[in-house]
Amino acid sequence: MREKVWAAFPGFKSISELERSNLPQRVSNPVKARWWRLWTVAFPLLAGAALALALRHREAEPVWHGRSLSSWVDDLARGSSKEVREPAEEAVRSIGSKALPRLVRMLRSRDTLWDRALLALNRKQKRVHFSVLPGRERRVQAALAFEALGPIARPAIPELKEMLVHDRQPQFIADALAAVGPESVSVLLEALSEVAPANRSALYAAAAKWPSRQEEIIDALLRSTKSANEEGRRSAAEYLGRFPRNSGPSVTALVSALDDPEFEVRKQALSSLVEFGTNATPAIEPLQKLLLQPHGFPLESISNALIRIQSPRSDSG
Protein backbone atom coordinates (compact mmCIF):
# COMPACT_ATOMS: atom_id res chain seq x y z
CA MET A 1 0.00 0.00 0.00
CA ARG A 2 2.79 2.40 0.95
CA GLU A 3 4.52 1.78 -2.40
CA LYS A 4 1.30 2.52 -4.34
CA VAL A 5 0.91 5.87 -2.62
CA TRP A 6 4.44 6.90 -3.46
CA ALA A 7 3.97 5.70 -7.06
CA ALA A 8 1.49 8.56 -7.57
CA PHE A 9 4.39 10.99 -7.08
CA PRO A 10 7.00 9.99 -9.64
CA GLY A 11 9.41 12.75 -8.62
CA PHE A 12 9.79 11.29 -5.16
CA LYS A 13 11.62 8.22 -3.98
CA SER A 14 9.88 5.64 -1.90
CA ILE A 15 10.44 5.55 1.82
CA SER A 16 12.32 2.30 1.53
CA GLU A 17 14.61 3.84 -1.10
CA LEU A 18 15.22 6.88 1.07
CA GLU A 19 15.98 4.67 4.03
CA ARG A 20 18.39 2.62 1.95
CA SER A 21 20.13 5.70 0.55
CA ASN A 22 20.59 7.31 3.99
CA LEU A 23 21.64 4.16 5.78
CA PRO A 24 25.33 4.28 4.76
CA GLN A 25 25.60 7.88 5.99
CA ARG A 26 24.04 7.00 9.33
CA VAL A 27 26.21 3.99 9.99
CA SER A 28 29.48 5.15 8.38
CA ASN A 29 32.30 5.44 10.86
CA PRO A 30 30.14 5.50 14.03
CA VAL A 31 33.22 5.58 16.30
CA LYS A 32 34.48 8.79 14.73
CA ALA A 33 31.04 10.37 15.00
CA ARG A 34 30.76 9.45 18.64
CA TRP A 35 34.18 10.92 19.44
CA TRP A 36 33.28 14.08 17.54
CA ARG A 37 30.13 14.53 19.61
CA LEU A 38 32.14 14.03 22.78
CA TRP A 39 34.73 16.57 21.61
CA THR A 40 32.10 19.21 20.83
CA VAL A 41 30.75 18.83 24.35
CA ALA A 42 34.10 18.53 26.12
CA PHE A 43 35.93 21.31 24.30
CA PRO A 44 34.00 24.26 25.79
CA LEU A 45 34.31 22.74 29.25
CA LEU A 46 38.04 22.19 28.89
CA ALA A 47 38.58 25.61 27.39
CA GLY A 48 36.73 27.15 30.34
CA ALA A 49 38.81 25.12 32.76
CA ALA A 50 42.00 26.23 31.02
CA LEU A 51 40.92 29.86 31.26
CA ALA A 52 40.08 29.48 34.95
CA LEU A 53 43.43 27.78 35.52
CA ALA A 54 45.29 30.58 33.77
CA LEU A 55 43.44 33.25 35.75
CA ARG A 56 44.12 31.41 39.00
CA HIS A 57 47.83 31.19 38.25
CA ARG A 58 48.01 34.90 37.42
CA GLU A 59 46.12 35.96 40.51
CA ALA A 60 48.03 38.41 42.69
CA GLU A 61 51.32 37.57 40.99
CA PRO A 62 54.31 39.92 41.52
CA VAL A 63 55.50 41.88 38.49
CA TRP A 64 58.93 43.25 37.61
CA HIS A 65 59.59 45.54 34.63
CA GLY A 66 56.16 44.76 33.24
CA ARG A 67 56.56 40.98 33.36
CA SER A 68 55.05 38.55 35.83
CA LEU A 69 57.07 36.34 38.16
CA SER A 70 55.93 33.28 36.21
CA SER A 71 57.26 34.78 32.99
CA TRP A 72 60.67 35.40 34.55
CA VAL A 73 60.72 31.92 36.07
CA ASP A 74 59.96 30.46 32.64
CA ASP A 75 63.06 32.22 31.33
CA LEU A 76 65.03 30.92 34.29
CA ALA A 77 64.06 27.35 33.49
CA ARG A 78 64.79 27.69 29.79
CA GLY A 79 67.83 29.91 30.25
CA SER A 80 70.65 27.86 28.81
CA SER A 81 72.49 31.08 27.88
CA LYS A 82 73.73 33.83 30.16
CA GLU A 83 71.79 36.41 28.15
CA VAL A 84 68.51 34.75 29.16
CA ARG A 85 69.38 33.33 32.57
CA GLU A 86 71.08 36.30 34.23
CA PRO A 87 68.27 38.85 33.66
CA ALA A 88 65.78 36.26 34.95
CA GLU A 89 67.84 35.68 38.10
CA GLU A 90 68.11 39.43 38.67
CA ALA A 91 64.36 39.83 38.22
CA VAL A 92 63.56 37.07 40.74
CA ARG A 93 65.96 38.60 43.27
CA SER A 94 64.45 42.05 42.68
CA ILE A 95 60.96 40.70 43.37
CA GLY A 96 62.48 39.23 46.53
CA SER A 97 60.38 37.84 49.37
CA LYS A 98 57.17 38.83 47.54
CA ALA A 99 57.85 35.83 45.29
CA LEU A 100 57.82 33.31 48.14
CA PRO A 101 54.05 32.61 48.41
CA ARG A 102 53.87 31.91 44.68
CA LEU A 103 57.02 29.77 44.66
CA VAL A 104 55.86 27.72 47.65
CA ARG A 105 52.59 27.03 45.83
CA MET A 106 54.61 25.90 42.83
CA LEU A 107 56.55 23.49 45.04
CA ARG A 108 53.23 22.01 46.13
CA SER A 109 52.13 21.52 42.52
CA ARG A 110 50.41 18.31 41.56
CA ASP A 111 48.74 17.38 38.30
CA THR A 112 45.00 17.76 38.82
CA LEU A 113 42.40 15.90 36.77
CA TRP A 114 42.02 18.98 34.56
CA ASP A 115 45.78 19.31 34.17
CA ARG A 116 46.05 15.72 32.99
CA ALA A 117 43.14 16.17 30.59
CA LEU A 118 44.64 19.32 29.06
CA LEU A 119 48.09 17.76 28.79
CA ALA A 120 46.56 14.75 27.05
CA LEU A 121 44.77 17.04 24.60
CA ASN A 122 48.02 18.90 23.88
CA ARG A 123 49.62 15.58 22.99
CA LYS A 124 46.76 14.35 20.80
CA GLN A 125 46.01 17.44 18.73
CA LYS A 126 47.86 20.50 17.44
CA ARG A 127 45.04 22.92 16.60
CA VAL A 128 44.66 24.30 20.12
CA HIS A 129 47.46 24.45 22.68
CA PHE A 130 46.47 24.77 26.33
CA SER A 131 48.93 26.65 28.50
CA VAL A 132 49.55 24.12 31.24
CA LEU A 133 52.78 22.65 32.62
CA PRO A 134 53.18 19.25 34.27
CA GLY A 135 53.45 19.50 38.04
CA ARG A 136 57.02 18.20 37.97
CA GLU A 137 58.14 21.04 35.70
CA ARG A 138 56.50 23.64 37.93
CA ARG A 139 58.37 22.21 40.91
CA VAL A 140 61.68 22.29 39.03
CA GLN A 141 61.04 25.93 38.14
CA ALA A 142 60.33 26.78 41.77
CA ALA A 143 63.56 25.15 42.95
CA LEU A 144 65.51 27.15 40.35
CA ALA A 145 63.86 30.35 41.55
CA PHE A 146 64.88 29.55 45.14
CA GLU A 147 68.46 29.18 43.91
CA ALA A 148 68.21 32.67 42.42
CA LEU A 149 66.81 34.06 45.68
CA GLY A 150 69.37 32.42 47.96
CA PRO A 151 69.34 33.91 51.50
CA ILE A 152 66.43 36.18 50.55
CA ALA A 153 64.25 33.06 50.87
CA ARG A 154 65.03 32.50 54.58
CA PRO A 155 61.47 33.41 55.70
CA ALA A 156 60.21 30.32 53.84
CA ILE A 157 62.36 27.85 55.83
CA PRO A 158 59.70 26.87 58.44
CA GLU A 159 57.08 26.17 55.77
CA LEU A 160 59.57 24.28 53.59
CA LYS A 161 60.57 22.14 56.57
CA GLU A 162 56.97 21.16 57.20
CA MET A 163 56.44 20.38 53.52
CA LEU A 164 59.60 18.30 53.39
CA VAL A 165 58.44 15.63 55.83
CA HIS A 166 55.00 15.25 54.23
CA ASP A 167 55.97 15.19 50.56
CA ARG A 168 56.25 11.87 48.73
CA GLN A 169 58.81 13.39 46.33
CA PRO A 170 60.84 15.74 48.53
CA GLN A 171 63.83 16.28 46.23
CA PHE A 172 62.57 19.63 44.90
CA ILE A 173 61.81 20.95 48.37
CA ALA A 174 65.20 19.73 49.60
CA ASP A 175 66.92 21.56 46.74
CA ALA A 176 64.94 24.72 47.49
CA LEU A 177 65.97 24.54 51.14
CA ALA A 178 69.63 23.96 50.30
CA ALA A 179 69.57 27.02 48.05
CA VAL A 180 68.76 29.26 51.01
CA GLY A 181 72.14 28.76 52.68
CA PRO A 182 74.22 26.49 54.93
CA GLU A 183 71.73 26.85 57.78
CA SER A 184 69.45 24.58 55.75
CA VAL A 185 71.71 21.58 56.47
CA SER A 186 70.49 21.17 60.04
CA VAL A 187 66.87 21.37 58.81
CA LEU A 188 67.51 18.69 56.19
CA LEU A 189 69.26 16.36 58.63
CA GLU A 190 66.61 16.78 61.33
CA ALA A 191 64.00 15.67 58.80
CA LEU A 192 65.79 12.40 57.96
CA SER A 193 64.01 10.34 60.60
CA GLU A 194 60.61 11.55 59.37
CA VAL A 195 61.25 10.88 55.68
CA ALA A 196 60.81 7.51 53.98
CA PRO A 197 64.17 5.71 53.66
CA ALA A 198 63.85 5.66 49.88
CA ASN A 199 63.73 9.49 49.90
CA ARG A 200 66.64 10.13 52.23
CA SER A 201 69.21 10.21 49.46
CA ALA A 202 67.53 13.40 48.15
CA LEU A 203 68.11 15.05 51.53
CA TYR A 204 71.72 13.87 51.66
CA ALA A 205 72.31 15.21 48.14
CA ALA A 206 70.89 18.60 49.08
CA ALA A 207 72.90 18.80 52.32
CA ALA A 208 76.10 17.78 50.50
CA LYS A 209 75.93 21.05 48.55
CA TRP A 210 77.40 22.66 51.66
CA PRO A 211 80.72 20.89 52.32
CA SER A 212 81.46 23.48 55.00
CA ARG A 213 78.97 21.54 57.14
CA GLN A 214 80.48 18.14 56.35
CA GLU A 215 81.11 17.15 59.97
CA GLU A 216 77.42 17.54 60.75
CA ILE A 217 76.50 15.63 57.59
CA ILE A 218 78.97 12.81 58.26
CA ASP A 219 77.64 12.35 61.80
CA ALA A 220 74.14 11.87 60.38
CA LEU A 221 75.44 9.45 57.74
CA LEU A 222 77.28 7.38 60.33
CA ARG A 223 74.09 7.02 62.32
CA SER A 224 72.24 5.98 59.18
CA THR A 225 74.73 3.16 58.44
CA LYS A 226 73.07 1.40 61.40
CA SER A 227 69.54 1.93 60.09
CA ALA A 228 67.14 -1.00 60.16
CA ASN A 229 66.26 -0.21 56.56
CA GLU A 230 68.40 -1.57 53.71
CA GLU A 231 67.99 1.51 51.50
CA GLY A 232 68.80 3.78 54.42
CA ARG A 233 72.10 1.93 54.98
CA ARG A 234 72.92 1.83 51.28
CA SER A 235 72.37 5.56 50.71
CA ALA A 236 74.41 6.39 53.84
CA ALA A 237 77.30 4.29 52.51
CA GLU A 238 77.01 6.07 49.16
CA TYR A 239 77.18 9.59 50.57
CA LEU A 240 80.01 8.82 52.97
CA GLY A 241 82.08 8.38 49.81
CA ARG A 242 81.32 12.02 48.90
CA PHE A 243 83.59 13.21 51.73
CA PRO A 244 86.81 11.24 51.17
CA ARG A 245 89.09 13.72 52.90
CA ASN A 246 87.42 13.07 56.22
CA SER A 247 88.20 9.39 56.84
CA GLY A 248 88.59 7.77 60.27
CA PRO A 249 85.08 6.87 61.47
CA SER A 250 83.78 6.83 57.89
CA VAL A 251 86.22 4.13 56.79
CA THR A 252 85.48 2.11 59.93
CA ALA A 253 81.75 2.27 59.21
CA LEU A 254 82.25 1.27 55.57
CA VAL A 255 84.46 -1.67 56.52
CA SER A 256 81.72 -2.86 58.87
CA ALA A 257 79.22 -2.48 56.01
CA LEU A 258 81.23 -5.02 53.98
CA ASP A 259 79.58 -7.63 56.23
CA ASP A 260 76.07 -6.23 55.79
CA PRO A 261 73.44 -8.94 55.19
CA GLU A 262 72.28 -7.15 52.00
CA PHE A 263 74.52 -7.34 48.94
CA GLU A 264 73.56 -3.87 47.63
CA VAL A 265 74.81 -2.33 50.88
CA ARG A 266 78.06 -4.31 50.72
CA LYS A 267 78.53 -3.33 47.07
CA GLN A 268 78.06 0.36 47.85
CA ALA A 269 80.43 0.18 50.83
CA LEU A 270 83.18 -1.24 48.61
CA SER A 271 82.60 1.45 45.99
CA SER A 272 82.77 4.22 48.60
CA LEU A 273 85.94 2.85 50.19
CA VAL A 274 87.68 3.24 46.83
CA GLU A 275 86.84 6.97 46.90
CA PHE A 276 89.01 7.36 50.01
CA GLY A 277 92.13 6.13 48.21
CA THR A 278 95.09 5.68 50.54
CA ASN A 279 93.01 7.16 53.38
CA ALA A 280 91.23 3.80 53.40
CA THR A 281 94.31 1.74 54.33
CA PRO A 282 92.50 0.27 57.40
CA ALA A 283 90.31 -1.52 54.86
CA ILE A 284 93.22 -3.43 53.25
CA GLU A 285 93.26 -6.38 55.63
CA PRO A 286 89.46 -6.86 55.62
CA LEU A 287 89.50 -6.73 51.80
CA GLN A 288 92.27 -9.33 51.66
CA LYS A 289 90.14 -11.61 53.83
CA LEU A 290 87.20 -10.88 51.52
CA LEU A 291 89.20 -12.35 48.64
CA LEU A 292 89.05 -15.70 50.43
CA GLN A 293 85.32 -15.42 51.18
CA PRO A 294 83.93 -12.90 48.67
CA HIS A 295 80.27 -12.95 49.89
CA GLY A 296 78.96 -12.49 46.36
CA PHE A 297 81.58 -9.99 45.18
CA PRO A 298 83.42 -10.68 41.91
CA LEU A 299 87.07 -11.25 42.85
CA GLU A 300 88.10 -8.71 40.23
CA SER A 301 86.19 -5.90 41.96
CA ILE A 302 87.89 -6.66 45.30
CA SER A 303 91.33 -6.78 43.64
CA ASN A 304 90.73 -3.48 41.85
CA ALA A 305 89.63 -1.86 45.12
CA LEU A 306 92.82 -3.03 46.83
CA ILE A 307 94.94 -1.62 44.00
CA ARG A 308 93.20 1.75 44.20
CA ILE A 309 93.54 1.93 47.98
CA GLN A 310 97.22 0.88 47.99
CA SER A 311 98.24 3.19 45.13
CA PRO A 312 98.74 6.87 46.01
CA ARG A 313 96.69 9.24 43.88
CA SER A 314 97.22 12.93 43.29
CA ASP A 315 93.61 13.66 44.33
CA SER A 316 93.78 11.79 47.65
CA GLY A 317 94.41 13.69 50.83
Sign of the Cα torsion 231, 143, 115, 101 reads positive
In angstroms, the CA 92 to CA 151 distance is 13
Answer whether 9's CB lies under 8 Å from 15's CB: no
Partners of residue 67 on adjacent β-strands? 64
In angstroms, the CA 112 to CA 57 distance is 14
How is residue 150 annotated by DSSP?
G
Give the dihedral of Cα atoms 60, 165, 132, 45; nearest 10 deg.
Answer: -90
What Rg, from alpha-carbon coordinates, does the chain have?
Answer: 31
pLDDT of residue 317: 42
Of 117, 140, 96, 115, residue with least CA distance to 57: 115
Question: What Cα–Cα distance (Å) separates residue 150 from each residue in 105, 170, 180?
Answer: 18, 19, 4
pLDDT of residue 53: 52
Of 135, 97, 103, residue with least CA distance to 116: 135
Q: pLDDT by residue for the chain (317 residues), tens digit each?
A: 545 444 544 554 444 554 455 544 544 556 555 655 555 555 555 555 555 555 554 457 899 999 999 999 999 887 668 889 999 999 999 999 999 999 999 999 875 666 566 556 656 766 665 555 666 788 999 999 999 999 999 999 999 999 999 998 899 999 999 999 999 999 999 999 999 888 999 999 999 999 999 999 999 999 999 999 999 999 999 999 999 887 899 999 999 999 999 999 999 999 999 999 999 999 999 999 999 988 889 999 999 999 999 986 644 44
Domains observed in the chain: 48-209 (no CATH), 222-317 (1.25.10.10)
Partners of residue 63 on adjacent β-strands? 68
- Full-model pTM: 0.72
